Structure 1
């Protein structure tokens, strides 16, 4: 049985679920970091990230340290950080 995202009722493949679980800690990661931490082939991670972006669960951020790479982060974390800045 596949897990269904409660926000938009999207069925996620197991690889996407693992990537999402990894990113839920809130720290943005590059593609290479994600691949190394969950030990899945780069092609599978690329597909998982594509599915997560299509479902609106993660976002890409500009990497100021290395403009050749992007950072991936869970969308909910970003909105909570923006809310904290707005209330401060």
Structure 2
């Protein structure tokens, strides 16, 4: 392993430090947000195959850990859009 690869592996580990102690559902939601730029709560439930209530709990935990941004959808103000900050 080169020095550059080792540094990039360390940076990736540091990036996920805030998520490490969260429940598995929160980790899954964070990983799905990592692969997708921005999703609604219902889209997250579809992608993760988790119940909407579990996704809501996971998003609350991620917001408490300050690793998720949420904003209102311009197309539908009843929905919130979530994206990963880390």
What is the TM-score when the length of structure 2 is the normalising length?
0.75
RMSD between superposed Cα atoms in Å: 1.9
The match for 1:50 among 40, 57, 60 is: 60
Unaligned runs of 5+ residues in structure 2 are 1-15
Q: How many residues align?
A: 72
CA distance in 2 between counterparts of 1:23 and 1:9 reads: 13
Partner residue of 1:85?
none
Cα 1:22/1:46, change in 2 over 3 Å: same
Alignment of 1:18-33 (within 5 A): 18-33=28-43
Alignment of 1:67-86 (within 5 A): 67-76=77-86
Structure having the larger proportion of residues in helix:
2
Alignment of 1:31-46 (within 5 A): 31-46=41-56
Moved over 3 A (4+): none
Unaligned runs of 5+ residues in structure 1 are 77-88
What is the TM-score when the length of structure 1 is the normalising length?
0.74
